[in-house]
Every structure is written in structure tokens, then in C-alpha cells.
């Protein structure tokens, strides 16, 4: 049932619940409000954890830290695959841009490479599913 709050021309305030408002309160000089409580929004999912406070651009060292235990296995894979070697080399030659950092977690090639490496590393038992997203979370 709606809740109404009526303020008279002299400033007296009354509040009541009714299906429809008192017609008097729609008259000249009256202020009539319908008070509607806003339902609370559903609790949002907590943001993913980040290591560098959400910063998307990193130093070489910070990126290696995010790779974690996968760093050495990736280097081993690079010796077997030219594509993987080329991907690794991109990071080696990356230089800082205007942000001052050389590594960009939002670069499509970074994302593509990590996602391509994950199943290989999972199959080797180096990491678990979700590793690539964890790196990309920053």
C-alpha cells in the first residue's frame, strides 16, 4: 500500500498509508509526496584480486612475478616452438611507452598468448585452469 506524506499550506506534515491519497492533499497549497523505499541493489560480485592495485601496465619484473611458477616452463616451451619463442621475445624487447611501463596487460597479443599457453601448462601440471586470467587480473 502506498505511503503518502502531505505538507499543508501552514507547514504541518502528516504521513499515512492508503491506496489513494486524500483528495484534500491534492488541493492548492498542499504538497503531496508518495514515499517509495528504494529496494537495495543486489550485492555486486567482489572485484577480482589484484597484485598491483589494478594497474594494467607493468614493468618486466612485475610481469615475470605474475607468471609465477609458469615462467621457467614457458622458457622451455619457447625452445620447442618458434611461435612461443616469438611471443616471449616481444616482452624482452618491449620498451616503456608514455606510461613509463613496457608491459600492457590489455594488449590483445598478451591476452592471446597467455590464453594459448594455459592449456599447455595445465596439461603439463604446471598451473591450473584460470591461471591466464589470474595473470591478466594484474
Give the residue with the Cβ less far from another protein, 53 or 123.
Answer: 53
Q: Whole-number minimum distance, CB 25 to another protein, in Å?
A: 8
Q: Whole-number minimum distance, CB 32 to another protein, in Å?
A: 4
* CA-derived radius of gyration, the chain: 30
The binding site for another protein (CB under 8 A) comprises 2, 4-5, 20-21, 26, 31-41
Place of cell 619457447: 78
With CA atoms as reference, report the closest residue to 110 among 128, 91, 129, 127.
91
Q: Collapsing DSSP states into helix, strand and coil, what is residue 78? A: helix
Q: Whole-number minimum distance, CB 106 to another protein, in Å?
A: 17
Q: Whole-number minimum distance, CB 110 to another protein, in Å?
A: 24
Q: What's the rounded Cα separation, in Å, for the pair 105 and 88?
A: 14
Give the residue with the Cβ less far from another protein, 2 or 130.
Answer: 2
Give the residue with the Cβ less far from another protein, 30 or 91.
Answer: 30
Q: What's the rounded Cα separation, in Å, for the pair 18 and 65?
A: 63
Give the residue with the Cβ less far from another protein, 34 or 45.
Answer: 34
Q: What's the rounded Cα separation, in Å, for the pair 25 and 7?
A: 8
Amino acid at each position: 500500500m502506498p505511503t503518502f506524506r502531505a505538507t499543508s499550506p501552514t507547514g504541518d506534515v502528516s504521513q499515512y498509508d492508503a491506496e489513494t491519497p486524500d483528495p484534500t492533499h491534492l488541493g492548492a497549497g498542499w504538497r503531496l509526496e508518495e514515499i517509495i523505499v528504494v529496494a537495495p541493489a543486489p550485492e555486486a560480485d567482489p572485484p577480482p584480486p589484484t597484485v598491483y592495485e589494478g594497474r594494467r601496465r607493468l614493468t618486466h619484473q612485475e610481469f615475470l612475478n605474475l607468471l609465477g611458477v609458469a615462467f621457467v616452463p614457458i622458457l622451455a616451451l619457447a625452445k620447442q616452438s618458434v611461435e612461443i619463442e616469438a611471443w616471449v621475445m616481444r616482452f624482452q624487447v618491449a620498451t616503456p611507452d608514455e606510461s613509463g611501463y613496457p608491459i600492457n596487460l590489455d594488449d590483445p597479443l598478451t591476452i592471446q598468448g597467455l590464453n594459448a599457453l594455459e592449456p599447455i601448462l595445465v596439461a603439463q601440471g604446471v598451473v591450473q585452469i584460470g591461471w591466464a586470467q589470474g595473470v591478466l587480473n594484474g
